[in-house]
Amino acid sequence: MVVRWLMVITGPVLILSVFYAEEIIQLLYIEHVDEKVISFQFLMFSFLLVSFGYIFGALALAGDKVNKLVPVFFTGLLVNFLLNVFLIPKYGAKGAAISTTITQFWVLVGQVFIIRKYLFIAINRVDLGKGIVFMTLIFVFVRIITWIWPESTFITFVSSAIFSVPLAFLLKLADLNDVRMVFNKKNNNNQIE
């Protein structure tokens, strides 16, 4: 359930951030915007990987297997260091962002391997496929909207949010029973106190 909801939330954020990286960077910086855009886009992909990493890290913690993650994090440290040594001198901030994204992917793959090996928890390939379809459809939708209204960031954001919600339910990434369960749990906790 958590992985599905994570895809529902982070997918649109990632896609809109990649499409509107320049506009977002212009809100934060005045100079050298073009140089920062690609770095931001890579870091947003890294954000998606880190988000999934939190889930697998929490599973390892709950299963008392955190010690098994130490080699994964150590090799991640080495991968990041070596990539930084080669990429930063040549590409600057872009190189650091690329290095971070590759490292986060490496660590996530290691976490998934550890969780599968020691906790016998498999990734639901159907949900993963649905998540890929979900993000692809949002990507296509955003491309179409930006083609129709190239100057309207607001319309794209609002229409993407409106499109994402029913799409998530249609693909069964989101489920009303999950929503009810969360709210019932919250109400039950409030009643106990």
* pLDDT tens digits for range 28-55: 888 877 878 999 999 999 998 998 888 8
Rounded Cα gap, residues 161 and 171, in angstroms: 15
Output the pLDDT for position 184. Answer: 78
| For residue 192, pLDDT beyond 80 | no
103-108: which pairs have CB atoms within 8 A and are 24 or more residues apart? 103/76, 103/79, 104/46, 104/49, 104/50, 104/53, 105/49, 106/75, 106/76, 106/79, 107/49, 107/53, 107/72, 107/73, 107/76, 108/49, 108/52, 108/53, 108/56
Instruction: Note whether 25 and 40 are within 8 A (CB).
Output: yes
